[in-house]
Amino acid sequence: MITREELANVAWHISTRSPDAGGQCVEAGPLGDGSGRVAVRHSRRPDAEVIVYSRAEWEAFVGGVKDGEFDFPVP
């Protein structure tokens, strides 16, 4: 489990492609503890739950995004 102290050191990033300048997006950032883990949260609910991914999990996800694996059709 991640502590509030660990989250206090996360350098959160919101995509420049976010359609809403108000931050209706997800934020992600490295934990900064040298583990390579990446935390993800909803930008409108920064005090809500945070998901933490290992470096390998994050790299697999980013690789899939770059390869178009998540280009779901829009109805």
**Residue 68 falls inside a structural domain:** no
pTM: 0.82
**Residue 72 falls inside a structural domain:** no
Round to whole Å and give the CA distance between 28 and 42: 9
Round to whole Å and give the CA distance between 42 and 24: 8
Q: Phi/psi of residue 26, each to 5°?
A: -100, 155
List pLDDT tens digits, range 26-64: 899 999 888 999 999 998 888 889 999 999 999 999 999
**What integer pLDDT is reported at residue 72 of this predicted model?**
92
37, two tokens? 């883990």
**Residue 49 falls inside a structural domain:** yes
**Residue 73 falls inside a structural domain:** no
Range of the domain at 52: 4-63
**Residue 71 falls inside a structural domain:** no
Round to whole Å and give the CA distance between 68 and 62: 10
The total of structural domains in the chain comes to: 1
Cα first-last separation, the chain:
37
**What integer pLDDT is reported at residue 65 of this predicted model?**
94
**What integer pLDDT is reported at residue 21 of this predicted model?**
59
